[in-house]
Homo-oligomer: A and B are copies of this chain.
Amino acid sequence: MPDTSKTGLVITAHPGDFVWRAGGAIALHAARGYRMKIVCLSYGERGESQFAWKTAGVRLEDVKAQRREEAERAAAILGAEIEFFDAGDYPLRVTEEILDRTVDIYREWKPSFVLTHALADPYNFDHPAAAHLAQEARIVAQAAGHKPDPNRAYAAPPVFCFEPHQPEQCGFQPNVILNITEVWETKRKAFEVLAAQKHLWEYYTRVALNRGVQGGRNSGRPMTYGEAYQRLFPDVVQELG
């Protein structure tokens, strides 16, 4: 069980999400010694695997296995553990068992931060379902009477929403830009695992470059590649400068 180093937790609906949206943050923190864990609620088997379904007669289990294998490879490139919940997609339905397991993960990992989807996404309801789980499990993990243990120490971590595909349509309000320049090549390598989605490689490379320009503008210090996040809870600080 991880308990000595810093850790980060990523809760996503589908495999592509953690690559396109948070791959830089995962690789960056992994490179700095954080233990990073990805919870992937589904394999994206029905709604994010168009290519696979072009083969007539392909079976759901095959698609799931193929997407799982890809996700594992991408996670490995980024330097993260990955756990799958096989909750289904299109629609993704979160059960009480999934909530329970997620609470346990919060308590075991005691993450320094959590990354998940934006709270709304009219193009994809699996995304807010994952974000809701990330938030509800974070809350339940604080309940002393849930699997009580008087010796447990746990504090709810900050939550950062990663960027949805069409940010303005999702009410996404980026208030943090993370400099991912030093791990860009790693993120790009993880892109390349998702061989069937080449058009998204370029899309998200452009997103990273433009967020990088914005990061430079907002800080006065040059940045090449960035990832945008929306921090949900106030940042508690000892200094403003």
Chain A residues engaging chain B, CB cutoff 8 angstroms: 6, 8, 25, 28-29, 32, 34, 45-47, 49-50, 52-56, 58, 60, 63, 89-91, 99, 112-113, 115, 122-125, 135-136, 139-140, 142-146, 148, 150, 155-156, 158, 160, 165-169, 172-179, 199, 202-203, 206-207, 209-210, 213-215, 217-221, 223, 228-229, 231-241
Residue contact A214 to B8, C-beta cutoff 8 Å: no
Q: Given the complex, which residues of B lie within 8 Å of A45, measured CB to CB?
A: 145
> Given A145-B47, A213-B199 in contact, is the A91-B140 Cβ separation under 8 Å?
yes
Minimum CB–CB distance for A106 against chain B, Å: 13
Q: Given the complex, which residues of B lie within 8 Å of A156, measured CB to CB?
A: 220
Bound Cα distance A56, B148 (Å): 8
Cβ-closest chain B residue relative to A44: B145
Minimum CB–CB distance for A188 against chain B, Å: 16
Q: Given the complex, which residues of B lie within 8 Å of A150, measured CB to CB?
A: 53-56
Bound Cα distance A230, B39 (Å): 32
Q: Given the complex, which residues of B lie within 8 Å of A167, measured CB to CB?
A: 168
Bound Cα distance A233, B29 (Å): 24
> Given A55-B150, A168-B174 in contact, is the A240-B139 Cβ separation under 8 Å?
no
Bound Cα distance A45, B240 (Å): 31
A-B pairs with beta carbons under 8 Å apart, 29 shown: A8-B240, A8-B241, A47-B139, A47-B146, A52-B144, A54-B150, A90-B145, A90-B146, A113-B240, A113-B241, A122-B232, A155-B219, A155-B221, A160-B240, A165-B214, A165-B217, A167-B168, A168-B172, A169-B233, A176-B236, A177-B234, A179-B236, A179-B237, A179-B238, A202-B209, A206-B206, A219-B236, A229-B240, A231-B235
